[in-house]
Amino acid sequence: MSRKRLRSAVSARGFSRRLLIVAALVAVLVGIARVSGGASSNQAGVVSHPSAGIARSGSSATAAGSGTVTASATSFGPNVGNGIYDGESPAVSDLPVLPVPAPTSIIARDNENLHPSAFASTAKDPLVQKTKGTGSISDPIANFDGICLPFGPPCDQASSCSCLPPDTNGEVGATQYVQIVNSDFAVYSKAGAVLRGATPINQLWAGTNSECATHNEGDPVVVYDQLAKRWLISEFIASPNAGEQYGECIAVSKTGDATGGYYLYTFLFGSDTFYDYPKIGVWPDGYYMTANEFPTGQETSSGAGAFVFERSQMLEGLPARYVFFDEAAHNPPPPAQYIGQLPGDLDGSTLPPAGQPNLFAEVDDPSTIPTDAGFYMRFWKFHVDWANPANSTFGINGDPNYKLPVAAFVRPQCVYGYGPNCVVQKGGPQGLDVLGDRLMFRMPIRNYGRYESVALNHTVVANGTDGIRWYEVRIPKGGNPSVYQQGTYAPADSATNPLYRWMGSVAMDKAGDLALGYSASGPNDFPSLRYTGRTAADPLGQLAQAEKVAFTGTGPQTEVEGRWGDYSDLTVDPTNDCTFFYTTEYLADDVVVIGTWRTRVVSFRFPGCK
């Protein structure tokens, strides 16, 4: 989650200031731990939560030079806005290759996380898979380095961000793989050959009058629109200057070649609310986006924002609109919020039923929505009507269309790498952040004909470490969604070498096989990239395939805030609908006290998918 930027150089002054912030945070968490030690729950397996929503570590995103709190100018919706068409970019292959100076400071991007619970959870996860599978999922096919932070050892594709975490994601297209991080993208062949080296995202807007030309602030997303054979590259405007607005920068390729030209759009959302942690999904009638809302000057979120952008116009380089719903107007009873959502992202070439709305989802427990008596997955239908946008709808007047019970789980209470349930790593005392407060990118939806499958995952506490809760939700043709299977992947490793598994991404191939990519780390292991999965014939709720180690880093994360992620990405090759491509970060040797992140891309497949 690259929030609004908190600039703190790794200097004596800046580093000391962050140490003071973290020390104060540790003191708070110690107090929470003391309270939780003798607490009893007033609901079976639940926790009390004194305040809800997401909190940021910093307030650097005030707009227009104002530090006052201004109420949102929007209603619930539908709110309709016009994007600014900025014209066409030059071919990416023709853009100048800008030098990346050796960084002398680092930008610790603002963090957002749920407030830790005041009392320990007594929930028992009944789904923990304690044994690794033995199935014959393939070894890595392609396995290559991506973009990197240019500290430490030589770095071929250097990010211009000088920041952490990288916010790594990427997608495979018909002939290419595009990876994107804070705040650059690069284009590769599927075997890993560099077709275009690391390029600042805002270079696409160079020469325009757009805010997107002067802001290169991250939280990037790249998706491949397999229906149109086009690429979409995006990042947010997080720190507007006086007279500017928060917004989203979106570029849509003119062809299927990611090194070609792009249609450029700037979508401005006003100066009252910052829309953080944007996540984008492809659907036939639009490009859909979730975001977490932060009113200007506030340190806590107000709720979630739901957007859809006019895909048909953007594919043609024509003026495009967006439709927005402010979910803060329909939050559950205070102090809870709807937050940390994902939009559906269509996988495969089979369209959903004609006119079917896209889905938005989140997973909640009583620590996030105290009025809940259990554990639930919520879905909202987002219907857009471009002919008459006023007829667009989100949920049932903002409330979810579906509330599905899920098995109990324990939400990690790690905050900024401190507190309980943080990931342990070899070579350093610093815990790694977990982001167990939300679903992890993406939420793929695939139409198998008789039913559609929705895949989701998030990090949980399991088996004395952290593991990954995953789900397959099925929607029968003409019916309503239900949880078809769910499981918690947390194999029991040796007592002297436990592994934490977290920051996952999940997807399914055309044969119904489900794969999970994730990070793994332990007291005797530097953070690594791993993957596993299940075939359609494996027992329900079990990832019965072998756990494969794609790559192991060579150093620890030592930056004082313990940042990791903030997300990863597993996608499926649209040419065969069988080969998975996964990307996330790892760490190289550290030469300064920060955490020298690198990224990796690995592909694999199930032998039965033909």
**What span, in angstroms and rounded, lies between the C-alpha atoms of 144 and 188?**
10
Q: Which residue has the higher pLDDT, 238 or 494?
A: 238
89 located within any domain: no
3-state secondary structure of 28: helix
- E-strand ranges in 400-511 read 402-405, 443-447, 451-462, 465-476, 482-489, 500-508
pLDDT band (50, 70, 90) for residue 595: low
- Cis bond before residue 126 (omega within 30° of 0): no
The residues, ordered by sequence, that sit 6+ positions from 168 with a Cβ below 8 Å of its Cβ are 146, 179, 180, 181, 565, 567, 568, 569, 583, 584, 585, 599
81 located within any domain: no
Does the pLDDT value for residue 434 go beyond 90?
A: yes
pLDDT band (50, 70, 90) for residue 506: very high
What is the predicted pLDDT for the residue at 562?
82
Mean pLDDT of 498-514: 98
**What span, in angstroms and rounded, lies between the C-alpha atoms of 543 and 529?**
17
Which tens digit of pLDDT belongs to each residue from 325-364? 999 999 999 889 999 999 999 999 999 999 999 999 999 9
What is the predicted pLDDT for the residue at 154?
75
**What span, in angstroms and rounded, lies between the C-alpha atoms of 395 and 380?**
5
What is the predicted pLDDT for the residue at 286?
98
What is the predicted pLDDT for the residue at 28?
38
What is the extent of the structural domain holding 458? Answer: 5-62+97-604
Q: Which residue has the higher pLDDT, 394 or 114?
A: 394
Domain count, the chain: 1
Does the pLDDT value for residue 283 go beyond 50?
A: yes
Q: What percent of the chain has pLDDT over 90?
A: 74
Average pLDDT, the chain: 87
336 located within any domain: yes
Does the pLDDT value for residue 2 go beyond 60?
A: no
Q: Are 535 and 608 in contact (CB under 8 A)?
A: yes
82 located within any domain: no
Helix (H) or strand (E) holding 200: strand 194-200
Q: Which residue has the higher pLDDT, 562 or 230?
A: 230
Does the pLDDT value for residue 150 go beyond 70?
A: yes
Does the pLDDT value for residue 132 go beyond 90?
A: yes
What is the predicted pLDDT for the residue at 119?
60
Which tens digit of pLDDT belongs to each residue from 9-64? 223 223 232 333 333 344 434 343 333 333 333 333 444 444 467 776 543 333 33
Partnered with residue 458 across adjacent β-strands are: 469
> How close are the terminal C-alpha atoms of the chain, in Å?
37
Mean pLDDT of 587-604: 80
What is the CATH classification number for the domain harbouring 273?
2.130.10
86 located within any domain: no
Q: Which residue has the higher pLDDT, 104 or 349?
A: 349
309 located within any domain: yes
pLDDT band (50, 70, 90) for residue 111: low
361 located within any domain: yes
What is the predicted pLDDT for the residue at 377?
98
Which tens digit of pLDDT belongs to each residue from 160-219? 988 889 999 999 999 999 999 999 999 999 999 999 999 999 999 999 999 999 999 999
Mean pLDDT of 318-322: 98
